[in-house]
Amino acid sequence: MNAKSKKEKLIQSAIEKFSQQGYHQTSVSEIADRAGVAKGTVYWYFDSKKELFWNIILSDVEKINNYILTKVNEGNEGAIKKLRQVIRLHLNFFKDRKDVARMIKESSVTSDSYFHKRIDSLRTEAINNISKIIKTGQENGEFITNIDSKELANFILGSINSYNPVVYELEDVEQKVDLITNIILNGIKQ
């Protein structure tokens, strides 16, 4: 097994163990055993179990943010379509990466200040990027202008995150994309 595949196998094994047992109940030995490598191999790639855990979470959140940034910079689509794609991306992540979503949920109650700052920074980045989509929509007449774009972006991100598979079984992503988009665009007032 080459170095890249060993690291990938370790990460996949860690995701399985962390999502099934939780961070505190998972040992480095269990992760190594699951990956079929020696315990020391884990420390070749990661300084600690904590670094491995957070590396997985931060990597996935950064991928989502990079996708959002790509959508922000695409000039050929309207803001509503971009917003729908951002919502779809998040919901598909929750559906397809339930294991990492469980890890994210667990990480929200940890007391590690360094990683909380990093997660908060990534959340702020996501809000800023979604806010840019909203501002473009406001400038193009797709959205009303009397709502602060950052407040709306924060609301949208919170709405999306309520579909975390830890608390909600997500079956039909498109139905939820339509629901969230409809509520955002039309509200709930009769």
Per-residue model confidence as pLDDT tens digits over 72-111: 888 788 999 999 999 988 888 888 888 888 888 777 776 6
User: Are 133 and 178 in a shared domain?
Assistant: yes
User: Are 175 and 115 in a shared domain?
Assistant: yes
Q: What is the CATH number of the domain that holds 97?
A: 1.10.357.10
| Structural domain count, the chain | 2
> Minimal CA–CA distance to 156: which of 190, 122, 189, 179?
179
The Cα 43–Cα 177 span in angstroms is 41
User: What are the b/e assignments for 75-108, b being 16+ CB within 10 Å?
Assistant: eeeebbbbbbbbbbbbbebbbebbbbbbbbebbe
CB 133, CB 86: distance < 8 Å: yes
pTM: predicted TM-score of the whole model, two decimal places: 0.83
